[in-house]
Structure 1
Amino acid sequence: MAEYNLDHDKLKKLETYIDNLQEKEGALINILHEAQDIFGYLSKDVQLFIARKCGIPAAKVFGVVTFYSYFTMEPRGKHVVNICMGTACFVKGADKILAEFKRLLDIKEGNMSEDGMFTIDTLRCVGACGLAPVVIVDGKVYGRVKVEDVEGIIKEYKQD
């Protein structure tokens, strides 16, 4: 395990999880979920470790990680802010809401704030068009969001 540039305790936890599985290759998505929960994201070293531990090609692991939007290969903030950019949300000003989040948090879309508290992402459509524009923070849905609401939403999560 020393060949991986990873936290030893976290790696051991992932190894124990994998070792306790009956079928490893068929459980790849579950393993990736567990790894992302443990490490916060799926670095190349984590992916390589999983591939070797499960006896599958690293390319297959990478293919699954890049196919599913849930998985991330970059560190994420403690709180993930998702702004819906579907047609209904966009027409009702989601682009302005995104710009305000980026301005107030001083980060670009897909990046993590310097304090490690926030990551901003966009989604294609969350299926809540009647609530447009929609913002989701850590799974909590905010509907009919206005630019003036953004500062209050951020403050809710800065108290952690």
Structure 2
Amino acid sequence: MDMTPRWALPLLFAGQAQKEIFHNEALTVIDALLHGRVESADSATPPGAPVAGQCWIVAAGASGAWAGQAGAIACWSAGGWRFLTPRAGMRVDVADRGHALFHDGAEWRDAAIRGDGLYLDGNRLVTTRQAAIADPSGGTVIDVEGRATMAAILTALRAHGLIGS
């Protein structure tokens, strides 16, 4: 075996010539993957003037130097484009979206936790904290149980940080 099984990092062997080339290639891939961040996941064409270390998730219909690399992470280095095949569970922050994407083993998906709330299947379930809801008051004797129940619900929502106090 001449590379690691998960990310295909080149391995060094005793007596191998030009070990620094293999070592540097491995470090370049690690640099791209460690705490991953990409500029965008919506571009199908390479940028005109990338900076070394910048990465993108290649969008469908890729062309030019990115042709045939849809879904891969394209990283610009001093040696040109490096393409990394994502694995299930991989997560990268996407600069132009303001939230992360994760790879489910088949495709990239938006992360559940975003700056504007918590999502499930693309539907926002919890949003940013809202203003406080006033405690119930008034009514007649029959409303005592209803008010007590509503107050308990409000207490629980406040305790979980879902509404303000």
| TM-score normalised by length of structure 2 | 0.27
Point out which structure has higher relative CO (alpha carbons under 8 A, 6+ apart): 1
Greater strand share, structure number = 2
